[in-house]
Amino acid sequence: MFLARHKIAYTEIDIEAVPGAAQEVIARTGKRAIPQFVIDGKWVQPYAPGEGFLYEKMSELLGIE
């Protein structure tokens, strides 16, 4: 919803439907945490336990004012 609200194009990958996608998340991040954003080649978890969605951090990384 955050990306759509800010009209940022993205590709959604369903880890349950795309073979190997879940394993790639684990290999790239060392976690089973979903969702993950890949911004300029860097894997970023947009949520923090107990904090929810990291609006400020994601806005900064995506250049949203």
Which DSSP string do the residues of the chain spell out, in sequence order?
Answer: -HHHHTT-------TTTSTTHHHHHHHHHSS--S--EEETTEEE--EETTTEE-HHHHHHHHT--
pLDDT of residue 65: 80
pTM for the whole thing? 0.80
Mean pLDDT of 38-46: 95
7-26 pLDDT per residue, tens: 999 999 999 999 999 999 99
Check whether 51 has a pLDDT greater than 90. Answer: yes
